[in-house]
Chain A
Amino acid sequence: MSSPRVLALRVASFGLPGAPPMINDIPLGENEWGPLRDEVARTRITGHFVAALEAGAFASTDAQRAEAMRSHERALALDLVLERLLVHAGRRFDAAAIEYRALKGTALSHTVYSRPELRSYGDIDLLVRGKQYDDALALLVEAGGRPHFGEPRPGFTRLFGKGVCVAMNALEIDVHRSFVAGPFGLSIDTDDLFANPIAVPLAGTEVPALPAVPRFLHACYHAALGDRVARPVALRDVAQILTTTHLEHDEVMATARRWRGEIVVQRAVLLAWLGLGLTAENPLLRAVLAAHPKGSERRALQAYVGTGHSYATQAAAGIWALPGVRARAAYASALLLPNREYARERDGYLARWRRAGALVRDGRPVR
């Protein structure tokens, strides 16, 4: 009997080159079906699940198939509501001359998948420039949004942070300044992310999104660093781009090197290939695996995935990714001496920082 996670990974690999063509040939019993159905819905891979059911690659009873279709339609209905929110937010940003890029699900579903129905999502992700970050956030607040967390000091996120999640009624917009918090987020040249956007046609308008190389790298950062255990959909995104999009691997690896994130790309690709059970050869895969990330990158990775990792360890490790004494001093003082409200909202804030400091003290992870 396979766990729901293992089956969900097989479902997420369906249709990829080198993936097993058959997932199961006998309908699951109710003790396996129920947990899998819930896992598929929770991890937002109903599109791949229905595709596998329709292709006969996942044997099911009529009742199971009907349940899967209903679950998929609920996922698609949420996708539409989120896509409408994206169009409205984009129009507000355009009217205020705030440059933005759509990230992750909304952009990927229309660019790297053959049909948007294959890639569902649970929120909207928008990237804005650091210098326009505060204005973008103010605009969303004016539209009724409520940021989930404050900042340790005013202006911290605009300079150093990943971004913030903004609740818009029952929906959420993640407003990003960078892909991740900590050293890997601080090492990204965010100007790269605003060059040569592609246009995603949506409801008679065009939504700007990342071009191919940053899009792939973002998928890698999300898969490698986004969650303690990588989500099937994040692994599928990496494999989907790698197997269906032409990418110049020299450009991919040169950009990753410049961002000091070769190890992030390596980890993401390995997780995707192993997690999804892929066997297909791929030139970019070979180039990624042949890279030799610096020891400093390996140490930085520990702040994200090592024992005792936390937001605090990532933030503490980030100090070494910043150029110059002044930036480091501003970063450290904001985190060590946050405003009272920020510290009060986080029980044990200073204790976590002491632990994080001890973990990274000898590391100087990134530079």
Chain B
Amino acid sequence: MAAAVNAPGLSPSARLGRGEVVTRRTHDAVLLLPIASPSDEPVVLTGSAIAAWDTFEVPHTVDEVVATLGHRFDAGTETIRTAVAPLVAKLVDAGALVERP
């Protein structure tokens, strides 16, 4: 069974793009801090999560991101979706990803 993006009110066909967020990059991590976040702790992305974040530079649906990463990493759709869905839910919850037209 496909993993769902567990973000309240988010439709599966929603196009998501980067929200108002400030970022820094190291050789193996991306640090994100959404402007509206009450926390002083940045979200830290590593590994394939960085590739997913980079894909959202242009708004995409989750399905499109899964397909793009599937080609890139030569992995099955469900494997990629299982990894991407909780990441997207976390980023939407933090305000780092938002719905775009």
Contacts and interface: CB of A to CB of B under 8 A. Distances in A.
Contacts of B24: 76, 79-80, 116-117
A77 interface: yes
Q: How large is the interface on A (under 10, 10 to 19, 20 to 34, 35 or more residues)?
A: 20 to 34
A73 B20 contact: no
A84 interface: yes
B26 A202 contact: no
A203 B31 contact: no
Determine chain A's interface SS by DSSP, over half rule.
helix
B20 A117 contact: no
Contact of A87 (B19, B22, B23, B25): B22
B59 to A, nearest CB: 13
Interface string A83-104: 1100110000000000000000
B22 A77 contact: no
Interface stretch (B6-14, B33-41, B49-57, B66-74): B33-41
B26 A50 contact: yes
Contacts of B31: 73, 76-77, 80
Nearest to B25: A117
Given A77-B31, A84-B35, A203 B20 contact: yes
A227 interface: no
A10 interface: no
Interface of A: 50, 54, 69, 72-73, 76-77, 79-81, 83-84, 87-88, 115-117, 202-205
Given A54-B27, A80-B33, 9 more contacts: A50-B27, A69-B26, A80-B22, A81-B40, A84-B22, A84-B35, A116-B24, A202-B22, A205-B20
Interface of B: 19-27, 29, 31-33, 35, 37, 40-42, 44
